[in-house]
Amino acid sequence: MNHIDTTFARLKAENKTALIPFLTMGDPNLETSVAIIQALEKAGADMIELGVPYSDPLADGPVIQRASERALLHNNITLKDCIQVAEQAREAGVTMPFILFTYYNPVYQYGLNAFFELVQSKGISGLIIPDLPIEEDEEVRQLAEAANVHLIPLVAPTSKDRVIRISRKAKGFVYCVSSLGVTGVRADFHTGIDEFLSTVREATDLPIAVGFGISSREQVARFEKQCDGVIVGSAIVRLIEEVIPLLQDPSGREAGLKQIGDFVTQLKG
């Protein structure tokens, strides 16, 4: 069974909701990304999205765009680098599931067969490709299923018929976008968010997770009542941006990691 499935099953038995942070790999560098992953698991994260830096991240707001720019310009981070972070984190003792978040072009350029061979060999459990529509994902879906990697779809509060169609083809969980537009910290969510989540819940037996804009314990608690998982991205990436000077200073590194871990512990509640 896929590691995502077993983790959600365990959390359901414990009456808990998964906390799923997002990180941009290679920001500020790959070694620190591994250390942050370790700190997040210790702080209570249940799964983690490994974000592949990309030069044209259409779904990402300014915080994650800046992180991608730093990773690409300063460290020339590649898709393969990001996947190898998963291997290094496993070697460091991390056990939670890894979900790779990447745009389609890096996957296509790498080669689909070679990509899935690499993903499978490095212990990636899930894959999110936000710019790959359901109408064009058949080849990727087949290769993902053969590799026991869940292709996790994003659904937004737009067309109800499309939400149902996407949800019924999902694997692992359904990623419910809380707001229209790009990622980023926000105070308000889509006005029909509760009805939207109910629609997704009715369309699938899989767990559902909500993301885009969630940044506080209060917001996490608000969605825990309706969802099996809550995804927090920009708020964590922004905090990493703020503590980069500490992370890059050997004498301040542990303090920087502690700030990130404490924030995740607070989100977990």
Task: Kindly report the pTM of this predicted structure.
Answer: 0.94
Residue 35, pLDDT score: 98
Cα separation of 244 and 31, whole Å? 13
Residue 158, pLDDT score: 77
Q: Out of 3.40.640.10, 3.40.50.300, 3.20.20.70, 3.40.720.10, select the CATH number for domain 18-268.
A: 3.20.20.70
Q: Which residues are catalytic?
A: 49, 60
E strands, the chain, in order = 18-24, 48-51, 98-101, 126-128, 150-151, 154-155, 174-177, 208-211, 229-232
Question: What is the per-residue pLDDT across 29-64, written as a single tens digit (0 to 9) for each?
Answer: 999 999 999 999 999 999 999 999 998 877 778 899
Domain spans, the chain = 18-268
pLDDT band at 157 (very low <50, low <70, confident <90, very high): confident
